[in-house]
Amino acid sequence: MMYKIEHTLKTLTLITIISICFSCKKNGDSDGVTPPVTPPVVTPPKLPSGVYAVGEVPATVMGIQTKQTAIWKDTQMSLRSQFVSAEDVVIQDTVMYVSGINSKGLYGAACYWRNGGLTVLSDTHTYPTAATDIAVKGNDIYVVGYTQRGINLFGDAVYWKNGVMTKLDANGRDATATGVALIGDDVYISGYYNLVLPKQAPCYWKNGVFHALPHDAYTAVATELAVSGTDVYIIGCVSGAATAVSPPFSAEPVIWKNGVLTKLNTTLLNTVTSHVVVQGSDVYVSGLSYGGATGLYWKNGISTVIPNSANATCIAVQGDNVYVGGYYKKAGDAANIYAEIWKNGSPTLNTSTPSAIYDITIVP
């Protein structure tokens, strides 16, 4: 009898120990090691989603005809600095950067805004300068453009990195920088340089090293660029006529992909390009036909015309939606132009204020 009692007690004790062990394994790691804690996903703050655009409106200040910066968020326009026109916009998280030209002074001066705070990049009383494009990576701000020597039309292609100006050599010739793209540690800048005027030739710089772009025309320019992976897309126009490309006569729109030139398809005469974006394998280019007095854009080389005497100055893409910014003339009002954003070819602003849009971007 005593044996049965002892055996029963031992059995109950063993069952209790096993239960405790299983309970420990259930509530903790089997090896006694605390599993790593997965940190929460932190989404960086950003500006409200929408379509952002920059440009200008005419203004009169103390009897002086000038320009005033205009910024659009979707269909709403707000006015900013007087004597300043906005040329390009880029948004990084909660910060909007805008490049432009400050005309308050003896000469126009390249400048940019950071959330409305104006930075003038050169003296407005020494020589004319202009900012044509802006790009931002981390804390570094790149602005490209040109400087003129004195009051003549000759000058240098330049870029400013965090306010410090660097001249871009074009084999010793006068030049203009028109666009900038930052990929990894590389800085790409598009532009053109002067030969014997009115002849000009397209080019680009990679990390400050000059590269001429091939063409078989009398004169040509590169107007902007975009980089996707290892592919470099540079847009521009070529002209066979003995005339400067501003505005061009007999101009044809072109794109260079990794240095190989392709003419963009159009039946319109005297057509130039203005802006390029790449989304996946699709390449979008905006432009203007002087001969057809209308704006247009290309998707992978196929053109779409925007009516109403439009000028397509910029383009942005989100998903299947194509947004083209620019301006147009209203019937019966030949003296003024009006800003517009076309979404898939349809106007969205219907503004009554004379104005123009020069660049557009999207915050998803």
In a domain, 40, yes or no: no
pLDDT at 196: 86
In a domain, 45, yes or no: no
What does each of the 364 residues of the chain score in pLDDT, given as a tens digit?
433 334 443 343 433 433 433 344 444 444 567 777 777 777 778 999 999 999 999 988 778 888 999 999 999 999 988 888 999 999 999 999 999 999 877 788 999 999 999 999 987 667 889 999 999 999 999 999 999 976 666 799 999 999 999 999 999 999 999 999 999 999 999 999 999 877 899 999 999 999 999 998 999 999 999 999 999 999 999 998 655 555 445 899 999 999 999 999 998 889 999 999 999 999 999 999 987 789 999 999 999 999 878 899 999 999 999 999 999 999 899 899 999 999 999 999 989 999 999 999 999 9
How far is Cα 232 from Cα 49, in angstroms, rounded to an integer? 29
How far is Cα 152 from Cα 174, in angstroms, rounded to an integer? 12
pLDDT at 27: 46
**162 and 22, same structural domain?**
no
**135 and 244, same structural domain?**
yes
**243 and 141, same structural domain?**
yes
**94 and 9, same structural domain?**
no
Total-model pTM: 0.85
**24 and 164, same structural domain?**
no
In a domain, 35, yes or no: no
In a domain, 34, yes or no: no
How far is Cα 121 from Cα 56, in angstroms, rounded to an integer? 20
**54 and 13, same structural domain?**
no
pLDDT at 355: 97
pLDDT at 243: 52
**217 and 97, same structural domain?**
yes
In a domain, 359, yes or no: yes
In a domain, 42, yes or no: no
pLDDT at 306: 92
- CATH at residue 177: 2.130.10.150
pLDDT at 32: 62
Structure tokens at 77: 């326009």
**139 and 18, same structural domain?**
no
In a domain, 331, yes or no: yes
**314 and 248, same structural domain?**
yes
**9 and 139, same structural domain?**
no
**192 and 133, same structural domain?**
yes
pLDDT at 39: 76
**96 and 14, same structural domain?**
no
Report the domain count for the chain: 2
Q: What domain range is 267 assigned to? A: 50-363
In a domain, 43, yes or no: no
